Chains A and B, each alone.
Chain A
């Protein structure tokens, strides 16, 4: 299938192609000393344009991250060497930036192409690059940036992390002209003539920096941060350790409601008989732009929610009345839906405080009664790593609070060129002082340290923890999933066929010390961006306590919670990445072409990075012993730099979404249904034998946990995305769910594959449903 193409333009191109041969990439074969088809000025302009439009996802050093392919080095030349500059131009112009396709002008696009080429060793010349310039990239680019330009592009300036405090809210308003009342944080307003414009700043970024700008997009974003509305909640009952171990039926105190990660509510007022009468009680509009995948928390009749710009709000859970609001900032870096690194999924409650981790890596304690900041720290002590676009790590998974400590994981950490690693860390809930941290890759001398092909410690990367852990109080053990080693392709990673412990594993840590009790590696030597990082559900059957989890390959795992030994596994969707998968032993063997992958060859991955399962969490319906799991069915072809094309999973008849139930005791399939759109929420199940789940195409529904039949559904404003919860106030049961956009593959793959689904690019809202009074 992979054959040389013959439409490169010009004699030089033809010669170059002949030199390259049918399959081999020889980047330095032709034109290494010849001038490239772009000018030095285009490189200068392109550097600024890249910083403004591309660096946030592809990183200032073009190394790429998560869903954004590498645009520099061997990986880039391997992927693009056989293609032309015109094709790179077309790709960028038609599809970039993410969420804003078509917004780059021809000049900006050509400049960015010139900059990328130059950063890959191509030399500027006298002729400007145009959309029609078609030169084989492999003939002019080696993948090595010349020394004088090896420094990364500047990180696009954004609103700085604000100080606490602040005044009344101001919003950019009007389509022609916006005039913020004041700048970011407590900075004074700047007039239009005093714009602190930085080269390469977009209008959006200028607006977020407090500069008067035209607002053609009507962004409607706040430019003020701090405690916008101070609260005065009376009779607030402090959250105790005992409450966290035994949550009151009315409450939702943490990510998946209980320490065991069940996402199960014991409320049964809404049930299979009356759910057809469910109706909207109130809604609340959340800040637009960025990425929203949050779990509302409920305690004492107060609903706490995180919104983009790290906007924390407390609302009367019965009426939707605002109690307090603290905009921690900063604002999203650009308008429209954000990437998967720009969110958090779960806050935590303890004592009189609410705890918030931010994508920028900060950890806050706010007074739950007033919204005032109690303390603030940074997970990495604000260590800077410009190549990563900022600090050496952020945090998107959420927190879990155990024995007076706030435990939090890391995201976008542990990248090439950075001496730091990803870790799980614990902070004193009263003071913010760090108590312990556990590095999530095995270093030399540690157990599993010999699984990295003898790489030096500072080249052992990855093991992000972008989903909050769970906890077993009886053994004082906290369970965390880790993502794959980085770079996630083993051929680029240098780890050979090593298992790369503790990546893509379940980790069992002592909650008080962070000491490793055991680890179980689900996908040794992972190489396809197929994370095993998701929820660890703790289930007890008789004397056996198990961890149940499912990762992107779609294999449901059951592990002994005490020993870490494999118990059972079940394949839930089609997969072709494992040549062999033994359900009786849990052993997986990758396909040969994956084991021997090369940067310039396409690899098929079913599932792809959308995952058979992703962040949309499982619910454990305890009365029926059923795990109710959102699944997705798509595949990709990918190249060495992470470039991907998508296709429907074979045997699914185009149904990307699937909701399936398995019996936890023996992993027996119970029921399943599929539909065109994937589910973009976690599942909450209730004692009313209902499971609530929302989808990409705006449908929020209740299904019967016993057979999967849909008993009630409604259509909301945009994608139903986040973690639905159920709670009660004054004896009345409610169900709350958010709509929103942004995120990684679970949003991006269906957005391309499901062309018939039309969604607004806004509509970040909270909806609360109940039975009629």
Chain B
């Protein structure tokens, strides 16, 4: 796992906005992109990893990320909303994506108030589809990589103990 560094100021700003129930202003979000649901039959076409970050300044929602190691070329990337993390939902935005097995994703959008709320509560996710594992793959909700955008949180390397509280999406995003 890649080691990322915690940015206290960002979290403080986020915590303040959440505490006071304000819209997500100047907040930062992050996700790791991981393989979508797979089994022993489909794990050979659903693979790869990536990371993405997002920011929202009150007007523009900006997403950037990269990915690598997909078994076939990317064909599309989108942002979806979901009822809860881990559940697929309807498409919200299309992202630019490198049509390759590795590359980048990006996009800038204007959010409605409903979409702002989805972002703030961890209910927007990025999905990348590839040639061999497109969005409409027949066996379940399939694509290739996905990841939920959560408020910036501390990610430490494997086997590094964290004291006291550690990030659990339910407990670290506003109420559903």
Of A7, A90, A636, A707, the contact of B37 (CB 8 Å cutoff) = A636
- Chain B residues within an 8 Å CB radius of A673: 156, 158-162
Interface residues of A in 569-588 (CB under 8 A from B): 571-576, 579
Is A733 close to B, CB under 8 A? no
Q: How far is the CA of A635 from the CA of B83 in the complex (A)?
A: 16
* Docked-complex contact B43 and A574, CB < 8 angstroms: no
Q: How far is the CA of A669 from the CA of B39 in the complex (A)?
A: 34
Interface residues of A in 303-354 (CB under 8 A from B): none
CB of B76 to closest CB in A, whole Å = 14
Which of chain B's residues has its CB closest to A639's CB? B140
Of A639, A650, A654, the contact of B86 (CB 8 Å cutoff) = A650
Interface size bracket, B side: 35 or more
- Chain A residues within an 8 Å CB radius of B88: 1, 604
* Docked-complex contact A675 and B86, CB < 8 angstroms: no
* Docked-complex contact B140 and A5, CB < 8 angstroms: no
* Docked-complex contact B86 and A752, CB < 8 angstroms: no
Q: How far is the CA of A134 from the CA of B47 in the complex (A)?
A: 26
Is A279 close to B, CB under 8 A? no
- Chain A residues within an 8 Å CB radius of B159: 673, 675, 710
CB of B145 to closest CB in A, whole Å = 10
Partner-binding segment picked from A108-116, A416-424, A476-484, A641-649: A641-649
- Chain B residues within an 8 Å CB radius of A647: 34-38, 86, 146
- Chain B residues within an 8 Å CB radius of A646: 37-39
* Docked-complex contact B164 and A574, CB < 8 angstroms: no
* Docked-complex contact A571 and B168, CB < 8 angstroms: yes
Bitwise interface map of B from 147 to 160 toward A, beta carbon under 8 Å scored 1, else 0: 11010010110111
Of B39, B83, B84, the contact of A95 (CB 8 Å cutoff) = B39
Bitwise interface map of A from 617 to 641 toward B, beta carbon under 8 Å scored 1, else 0: 0000000000000000001110100
Partner-binding segment picked from B20-28, B102-110, B131-139: B131-139
Q: How far is the CA of A575 from the CA of B34 in the complex (A)?
A: 18
CB of B139 to closest CB in A, whole Å = 7
Q: How far is the CA of A2 from the CA of B141 in the complex (A)?
A: 6
- The verdict on A675 contacting B138 (CB below 8 Å), with A94-B41, A604-B86 known, is no
Bitwise interface map of A from 289 to 310 toward B, beta carbon under 8 Å scored 1, else 0: 0000000000000000000000
Which of chain B's residues has its CB closest to A93's CB? B41
CB of A241 to closest CB in B, whole Å = 40
Of A3, A670, A752, the contact of B40 (CB 8 Å cutoff) = A752
- Chain B residues within an 8 Å CB radius of A574: 85-86, 168-170
* Docked-complex contact B39 and A651, CB < 8 angstroms: no
Tell me the count of chain A residues lying within 8 A, CB to CB, of chain B: 55
* Docked-complex contact B141 and A637, CB < 8 angstroms: yes
* Docked-complex contact B158 and A674, CB < 8 angstroms: yes
With a 10 A CB-CB cut-off, give which of A602, A671, A674 has the most chain B CB atoms. Answer: A674
With a 10 A CB-CB cut-off, give which of B135, B139, B153, B156 has the most chain A CB atoms. Answer: B139
Interface residues of A in 585-629 (CB under 8 A from B): 591, 602, 604, 606
* Docked-complex contact A5 and B164, CB < 8 angstroms: no
Bitwise interface map of A from 664 to 677 toward B, beta carbon under 8 Å scored 1, else 0: 00000111111110
Which of chain B's residues has its CB closest to A675's CB? B158
- Chain B residues within an 8 Å CB radius of A637: 37, 140-141
- Chain B residues within an 8 Å CB radius of A648: 34-35
* Docked-complex contact A95 and B40, CB < 8 angstroms: yes
* Docked-complex contact A645 and B87, CB < 8 angstroms: no
Bitwise interface map of A from 78 to 96 toward B, beta carbon under 8 Å scored 1, else 0: 0000110001001100110
* Docked-complex contact A602 and B141, CB < 8 angstroms: yes
- The verdict on A83 contacting B139 (CB below 8 Å), with A571-B168, A574-B168 known, is yes
- Chain B residues within an 8 Å CB radius of A660: 166
Supply 12 A–B pairs (Cβ within 8 Å), ascending by A. A1-B88, A7-B138, A101-B40, A574-B168, A576-B87, A636-B37, A637-B37, A646-B39, A647-B86, A651-B153, A669-B166, A671-B161
CB within 8 Å of B: which residues of A? 1-3, 5, 7, 82-83, 87, 90-91, 94-95, 101, 571-576, 579, 591, 602, 604, 606, 635-637, 639, 644-651, 653-655, 660, 669-676, 707-710, 752-753, 755
Knowing that A650-B86, A755-B43 touch, tell me 4 more A-B residue pairs with CB under 8 angstroms: A574-B86, A637-B141, A649-B86, A660-B166
Q: Sorted from nearest, which 8 A-B pairs have the closest CB atoms?
A: A708-B161, A645-B37, A5-B138, A95-B40, A1-B88, A675-B158, A650-B85, A1-B141
